[in-house]
Chain A
Amino acid sequence: EAGVAQSPRYKIIEKRQSVAFWCNPISGHATLYWYQQILGQGPKLLIQFQNNGVVDDSQLPKDRFSAERLKGVDSTLKIQPAKLEDSAVYLCASSHDQLAGGRMGTDTQYFGPGTRLTVL
């Protein structure tokens, strides 16, 4: 079974530039997550999709970050414009979780290798 794919693996940009990251989840996984991992910290959830709908984006800085999962499969995370503090590893994860009766399970999340972003 192929894992979660992410590209690019590394990206260096200057502040105020734009950048986009791509994620392809494991085939058949309904739920997709984007996390931000700042150096020396644990990953922090930015946004969670269930198929092509947003479940949780409460920690996404919506003035500069956006994400979409138009066909319920792969997803793109964009930053526009980037700030120095956006330097981090951006992780994508996916899981089987299905919404049933208003409750979601705690199925295992599988993580991609991440994209390391450096903002100069």
Chain B
Amino acid sequence: AQSVTQLDSHVSVSEGTPVLLRCNYSSSYSPSLFWYVQHPNKGLQLLLKYTSAATLVKGINGFEAEFKKSETSFHLTKPSAHMSDAAEYFCVVSLGTASKLTFGTGTRLQVML
């Protein structure tokens, strides 16, 4: 079985400050891990994915995530938040032998002026 736990349902930061969205995973096999973003009334967009290559993954819009097997974590970070980053973020896990994605419950990121 595979699952992800997003540790914060809501995160609030000031514009220009760092962003940290936390995710822990559980998987019996070597997982593939993803972060998706969902802006209001828009479709889900892939930010980045980890598929057993480099443990530090760089994505779009300045986001990156680090796969830490010892901590079973895949936290999403960005050095400096922008107002346009305000959205819902989903951590997602998939087994390597199947394409079925299992989503976390989401973290709503609020960016304040």
Residues of the A chain whose Cβ atoms lie less than 8 Å from the Cβ of B42: 113
Which residue in B43, B96, B106 is a CB contact (below 8 Å) of A106? B96
Q: What's the Cα separation between A69 and B42 when bound, in Å?
A: 24
Q: Would you call B104 and A106 a contact (CB within 8 A)?
A: no
Query: When the two chains form their complex, are residues B43 and A95 in contact, meaning their CB atoms are under 8 A apart?
Result: no
Count of B interface residues, CB-CB < 8 Å: 23
Is the pair A42, B90 in contact by a Cβ cutoff of 8 Å?
A: yes
> Does residue A76 face the partner (Cβ distance < 8 Å to B)?
no
In the assembled complex, the Cα of A109 lies from the Cα of B46 at a distance in Å of 8
Contacts of A33 in B (CB 8 A): 99
Q: CB-nearest residue of chain B relative to A113?
A: B43
Confirm or deny: B57 has a beta carbon within 8 angstroms of a beta carbon on chain A. no
Q: How far is the CA of A91 from the CA of B44 in the complex (A)?
A: 9
* B51 in the interface (beta carbon within 8 A): yes
How close is A88's CB to chain B, nearest CB, in angstroms? 13
Question: B11-55: contact bitstring with A at CB < 8 Å (1 yes, 0 no)?
Answer: 000000000000000000000100010000111111001010000
Q: Which chain B residues border A103 with CB–CB below 8 Å?
A: 96-97
Q: Is A97 among interface residues, defined by CB-CB distance under 8 A?
A: yes
CB contact under 8 A between A42 and B103, given known A104-B98, A106-B96: yes
CB pair A95 B103 closer than 8 Å: no
Q: Is the CB of B49 within 8 A of A43?
A: no
What are 5 A-B contacts defined by CB distance under 8 Å? A41-B105, A42-B103, A106-B32, A106-B49, A108-B46
Further 19 A-B residue pairs, CB within 8 A, beyond A42-B92, A103-B97, A104-B99: A3-B43, A4-B43, A31-B99, A33-B99, A40-B106, A41-B106, A42-B103, A42-B104, A43-B101, A45-B101, A48-B99, A56-B98, A91-B43, A95-B99, A104-B97, A104-B98, A107-B99, A111-B36, A114-B43
